[in-house]
Amino acid sequence: MENNIIDEIEKRLESFGYILKDGDKWLIGFVREKIENIIKLDCNIGEIPKELHNIEVDMIVGEFLFTKKNMGQLDIESLNFEAVEKSISEGDTKVDFAIGSGSQTPEQRFDSLVAYLTTYGKNKILTFRCLRW
């Protein structure tokens, strides 16, 4: 399972347009252990349930990107924040995607993404909380 989660973390990073560099594997491992310990301590459990797996991956990716940005090792401009299609029109119907994306800088969109990745699922994590005696 350990290699599986590392592979998923790397694929999730690649899905955002991040290209792995030398030294990233160590940082990914460090952040993974940190997030796993936070979840285990918050819930008072010894093993993370499979239901929290995707939330764990996103939290690790968010923390990794946050750390890389704060260390000055991340080129935010290289990440892809654009929707696949901005709008689709068919007949008299028009659907717009990416509303407001033009008014935000790439750094603001990056910060929003990191905030989402690191905080989404906190309420779901708490549903696995066990009492400590």
Give me the sign of the Cα torsion angle 116, 49, 35, 54. Answer: negative
133 residues of the chain, pLDDT tens digit each: 567 999 999 999 999 889 999 889 999 999 999 999 999 999 999 999 999 999 999 999 999 999 999 999 888 777 766 544 556 667 777 766 555 556 777 888 889 999 999 999 999 999 999 887 7
> What is the C-alpha to C-alpha distance for residues 2 and 75, in angstroms, rounded to an integer?
28
**pLDDT at residue number 34:** 97
With residues binned 3-state (H G I as helix, E B as strand, rest as coil), the percentages for the chain, rounded to 5, are 60, 5, 35
* Predicted TM-score of the model (pTM): 0.80
Neighbours of 1 (CB within 10 A): 8
Is residue 36 packed enough to be buried (19+ CB in 10 Å), middle (13-18) or exposed (0-12)?
A: middle
User: Counting every residue, how long is the chain?
Assistant: 133
**pLDDT at residue number 26:** 95
Contact 17, 80 (CB under 8 A): yes
